[in-house]
Structure 1
Amino acid sequence: MNIEQARFNMIEQQIRPWEVLDQDVLNLLSIVKRENFVPAAYRNIAFSDLEIPLPGGERMLAPRVEARVLQELAIHKGETVLEIGVGSGYMAALLAARGRSVTTVEISPELADFAKQNLAANGVMNAEVVVGDGAQGWADGAPYDVVCVSGGLPIMPQEFLEQLKIGGRIAAFVGSAPVMKAQIITRVDEKQFRVSDIFETLVVPLKNAKHPSLFKF
């Protein structure tokens, strides 16, 4: 396989048509080598438009989804980032390339180790992988400039909102099957938040994600 041709095709045929037009983001997808974060058995499909299996039954998000989220978050160099669900470490590497530092929380020790190895092997020094349950936020290091939730949330926990700086943004996949909404939530001030729906998708919910109450009054 011609890896560079496959990478070019991924960017031009999958990602750019999905309204990812920020040239800095497109350039970053050429610099951060996605194939280095994919399990060896799936290296030949690293650039395919699909979710790639990971250890522990988890999956990498499709490339176009990762790229669109990265673009919409519009991270600046001085910003601190929280990621929930490290996956292979690829999204953390992209976030780290744009921000000052990344704390990425992963509930699975096996997957956390896999991501740590990938990040270290690719020279990503400003992303820390922490083993823990971040499905309802992560107070250590809060408040954050940016929160990227790399798994589904049936509802948005209040904790995430409270751990965001004014002017900060959350990217999350909110809702339940058959359709979830990828949202950017911006903290306008102490009490107000602006929600923007950017696309519809379906991703696996985070383990221990909060669900709506079944009780109705």
Structure 2
Amino acid sequence: MQGFYDKDLYRIAREKMVKSQIVARGIKDEKVIQAMLKVPRHLFVEEALRDQAYGDFPLPIGKGQTISQPYIVALMTEALELKGKERVLEVGTGSGYQTAILAEIALWVYTIERDPDLSEKAKKVLLSLGYKNISLKIGDGSLGWPEAAPFDAIIVTAASPQIPQPLVDQLAEGGRIVIPVGDEFSQILVKGIKKDGILKIQTLEPVRFVKLVGAYGFKE
């Protein structure tokens, strides 16, 4: 009986999160809203933090990394303009929560994580939830995943001093990339749309992410 009670409480918390943090702030994409309602965010954080999983803030997941604030996850996902047939590259698997949201909408998600322990932990949760449209890789996310390119959409969940050129090269014509760009203390979330091989940039809003460490990101 306890398990059913817990599930019900998490479902209620998730519905409240979507209503007050996602819809109330202007997220309109129904696919994103439904994904946020479905994915059990509490399973992607440590057990001790599960009662905070649906709060309006990021949470630590170990190794100096965080699971992003729910609104930011929704905002970045909506900006990708996913319709359901896309092949998406995610740079920075982290907890795997953003990966799951993408997998609910896209055809296939390719996700790269620098830290092997985080990647393994995320893989276990994603498999336990039954996702079969995700490929995981350990490596330098700033280099992208050339063997799987081109991608219809790219999402970078760590801050970079600039948009890494390999990611621009691996983005399909007409594709969208969403990435926080700035220094290690503050960034602007930007969206790039590839037209005739060049990115047309839109700025979304100020954000603060952990650093993207790699050949085309911040140096270690």
Same fold (TM over 0.5): yes
Aligned partner of 2:161 in structure 1 is 154
Query: What SS does structure 1 have at the residue aligned with 2:22?
Result: helix
8 Å CA contact 1:19–1:68 kept in 2: the answer is no
Displaced runs of 4 or more, over 6 A: none
Could you tell me how far 1:25 is from its partner in structure 2? 1.4
Structure 1 gaps, min length 5: 213-217
8 Å CA contact 1:82–1:147 kept in 2: the answer is yes
8 Å CA contact 1:18–1:68 kept in 2: the answer is no
* Alignment equivalent of 1:131, drawn from 106, 115, 138: 138
Aligned partner of 2:36 in structure 1 is 29
Aligned residues: 211
1:103 aligned to 2:110? yes
8 Å CA contact 1:102–1:128 kept in 2: the answer is yes
1:76 aligned to 2:91? no
More moved, 71-80 vs 166-175: 71-80
Aligned partner of 1:115 in structure 2 is 122
Aligned partner of 1:61 in structure 2 is 68
Could you tell me how far 1:10 is from its partner in structure 2? 0.9
- Cα distance in 2, alignment partners of residues 97 and 160 from structure 1: 23
1:121 maps to amino acid: S
Query: What SS does structure 2 have at the residue aligned with 1:169?
Result: strand
Aligned partner of 2:15 in structure 1 is 8
Query: What SS does structure 2 have at the residue aligned with 1:152?
Result: coil
8 Å CA contact 2:142–2:217 kept in 1: the answer is no
CA deviations on 1:26-58 (whole Å, 9 max, x unpaired) are 121111111122221211111011111113221
Aligned partner of 1:189 in structure 2 is 196
2:152 maps to amino acid: D
- TM-score normalized with structure 1 length: 0.91
Aligned partner of 1:169 in structure 2 is 176
Could you tell me how far 1:149 is from its partner in structure 2? 0.5
- Cα distance in 2, alignment partners of residues 59 and 88 from structure 1: 8
1:182 maps to amino acid: L
Structure 2 gaps, min length 5: 1-5
Could you tell me how far 1:175 is from its partner in structure 2? 0.8
Could you tell me how far 1:178 is from its partner in structure 2? 4.3
CA deviations on 1:186-209 (whole Å, 9 max, x unpaired) are 10122x221111111111111226
CA deviations on 1:90-143 (whole Å, 9 max, x unpaired) are 111111111111110001000000110010011111111111111232212111
- Cα distance in 2, alignment partners of residues 25 and 96 from structure 1: 11
2:206 maps to amino acid: E
- Aligned-residue Cα RMSD (Å) equals 1.6
